[in-house]
């Protein structure tokens, strides 16, 4: 019994020493999004700035989904003699990221007692759709690496089909394209699905037929495309969608998965 108590004390001492050396790791918290959560409510609950929460998690839209994991940024109290470079080295991050997350105009704008948010070490805070504009592809949770061409096509079909709909519906439209990629009944690439013409010469998406697909994607559609590529599917696995007033007998005969805004999603 005494040995167990000594072991627990030793573990506690080690944890305390680690928290002194690695305060960011010790203070890191993860919030699991539940029904009704918003950026505002989460930031208020933890007493943190909304921008810091967005920056830490790359949340450049207001869309959240139940079960989503959000890292709550750590805070650090500036000590006398601290510099941004020294603080960055202590937490294993870049001083420029500390400037960005705290919206500091200069590296000299710190003072003892000031509370600074510390970005996640090694984490990317650049929105994924902006990462794509700087490289040929990015890693996403659904489909592995996605090329700029595929991402652009997905964002453009979302814009052409659902630009006037809510953000969640736009994500659902993107998810339908990805659900088709995963289905053996459709082509196995994003562009293959979007530009598919069946054996009767019928286009799968009207904007490809009428040329609206060639219009540039909206910023909201880009974010919706990233949400879909990272696994969000408000359509509940649908393979089709159509405006609810459409009288197409084939579409109307399919099982309904969800109705969102003016769209009906079916299997």
Percent over 70 (pLDDT), the chain: 80
Spatial CB neighbours of 140, under 8 Å, sequence gap ≥ 6: 128, 146, 226, 229, 230
pLDDT, mean over the chain:
83
User: Tokens 């890693």 map to which residue?
Assistant: 139
pLDDT at 123 over 80: no
Mean pLDDT, to the nearest integer, of 212-221? 92
- pLDDT value of residue 256: 97
SS3 label, residue 242: strand
pLDDT at 140 over 70: no
Residues in the chain: 267
User: Tokens 């060639």 map to which residue?
Assistant: 214
- pLDDT value of residue 104: 87
pLDDT at 57 over 90: no
Mean pLDDT, to the nearest integer, of 104-111? 82
Mean pLDDT, to the nearest integer, of 3-24? 48
Mean pLDDT, to the nearest integer, of 36-63? 86
Grade residue 231 by pLDDT with cuts at 50, 70 and 90: confident
Q: What are the φ and ψ backbone dihedral angles of 152, each rounded to 5 degrees?
A: -65, -40
Mean pLDDT, to the nearest integer, of 34-45? 93
Question: pLDDT higher for 82 or 130?
Answer: 82
Of 114, 60, 56, 57, whose CA–CA distance to 83 is shortest?
A: 114
d(CA 228, CA 170): 9
Mean pLDDT, to the nearest integer, of 190-208? 94
Structure tokens at 31: 């919030």
Q: What are the φ and ψ backbone dihedral angles of 31, each rounded to 5 degrees?
A: -105, 130
Mean pLDDT, to the nearest integer, of 65-88? 90
- For residue 145, what is the enclosing H or E element? strand 145-147
Percent over 90 (pLDDT), the chain: 50
Lowest mean pLDDT among 107-121, 129-143, 215-229, 248-262: 129-143
Of 55, 71, 52, 60, whose CA–CA distance to 116 is shortest?
A: 52
Q: What are the φ and ψ backbone dihedral angles of 80, each rounded to 5 degrees?
A: -60, 130
d(CA 195, CA 143): 18
Lowest mean pLDDT among 36-40, 76-80, 89-93: 89-93
């Amino acid at each position: 019994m005494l040995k167990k108590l000594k072991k627990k004390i030793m573990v506690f001492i080690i944890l305390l020493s680690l928290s002194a050396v690695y305060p960011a790791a010790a203070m890191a918290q993860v919030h699991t999004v539940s029904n009704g959560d918003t950026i505002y409510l989460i930031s208020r609950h933890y007493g943190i700035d909304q921008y810091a929460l967005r920056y830490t998690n790359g949340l450049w839209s207001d869309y959240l989904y139940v079960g989503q994991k959000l890292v709550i940024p750590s805070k650090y109290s500036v000590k006398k003699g601290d510099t941004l470079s020294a603080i960055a080295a202590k937490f294993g991050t870049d001083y420029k990221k500390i400037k960005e997350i705290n919206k500091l105009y200069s590296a000299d704008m710190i003072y003892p007692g000031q509370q600074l948010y510390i970005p996640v070490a090694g984490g990317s805070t650049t929105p994924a759709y902006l990462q794509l504009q700087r490289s040929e592809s990015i890693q996403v949770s659904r489909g592995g690496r996605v090329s700029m061409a595929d991402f652009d096509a997905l964002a453009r079909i979302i814009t052409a089909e659902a630009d006037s709909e809510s953000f969640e519906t736009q994500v659902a439209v993107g998810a339908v394209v990805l659900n088709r990629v995963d289905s053996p009944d459709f082509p196995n690439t994003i562009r293959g699905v979007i530009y598919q013409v069946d054996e009767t010469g019928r286009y799968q998406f009207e904007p490809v037929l009428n040329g609206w697909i060639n219009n540039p994607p909206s910023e909201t559609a880009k974010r919706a495309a990233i949400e879909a590529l990272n696994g969000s599917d408000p359509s509940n696995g649908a393979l089709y969608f159509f405006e609810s007033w459409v009288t197409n007998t084939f579409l109307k005969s399919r099982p309904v998965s969800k109705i969102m805004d003016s769209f009906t999603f079916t299997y």
